[in-house]
Amino acid sequence: MSDLHFRQPDDDATLRDWQYVHNEIIPAHVLSMDEIRERAQRYHLEVAYLDDVLVGCSTVRPPTDDTLTATVIARVLAPHRGQGFGEELYARGLTQARELGAKVIETVVLSCNEDGLRFACKHGFAEIDRYLLPGESIPWIDLRLA
């Protein structure tokens, strides 16, 4: 029987695993290890493994003092999609966001990530904004949970 387990990246190996998933799914916005270390200080990051195989990662951006909106992002590597791993990452992220006091949940998806958009819409998210970051050519889509 396979064992899906989660780990907060707390060393270079798990930070590199989180980085790998992020950069594989979002090649238009590659993050360096320094950027990931900085994110790990601000956000709740997790890495998901099936036994010893890396399957995905997640990010929860907690609500700030002036808003009760948190951002929950679940990413699953292509070979592992459609097996419920995204569901588990998303559910864990949603629980974490609500424990941090979030009343509104948003997510952000790169517009070319059709699987990610389909997953978000299937889980009750609706588009609220579409934009380009400076120097980038692929739009990002912000979605809010209805």
Section 86-111 average pLDDT:
95
| Per-residue model confidence as pLDDT tens digits over 27-46 | 888 999 999 999 999 999 99
What are the residue ranges spanned by the domains of the chain? 4-145
Q: Which of these, 77, 89, 87, lies nearest to 8 by C-alpha position? A: 89
Order of all β-strands in the sheet with 125-131 = 4-7, 44-50, 53-61, 69-76, 104-110, 140-145, 125-131
CA distance 58 to 129: 21
Question: May I ask the CATH architecture of the domain 4-145?
Answer: 3-Layer(aba) Sandwich (3.40)
pLDDT of residue 104: 94
Give 95's DSSP letter: H
With 0-12 CB in 10 A as exposed, 13-18 as middle and 19+ as buried, what is 73? Answer: buried
Give 136's DSSP letter: -
Confidence at 2, pLDDT banded by 50, 70, 90? low
Reduce the DSSP state of residue 57 to 3 states and report it. strand
Section 56-76 average pLDDT:
93
| Per-residue model confidence as pLDDT tens digits over 126-146 | 999 999 988 888 999 999 998
Position 14 pLDDT exceeds 50:
yes
CB count within 10 Å of CB 21 equals 19
Average pLDDT of the chain to the nearest whole number: 94
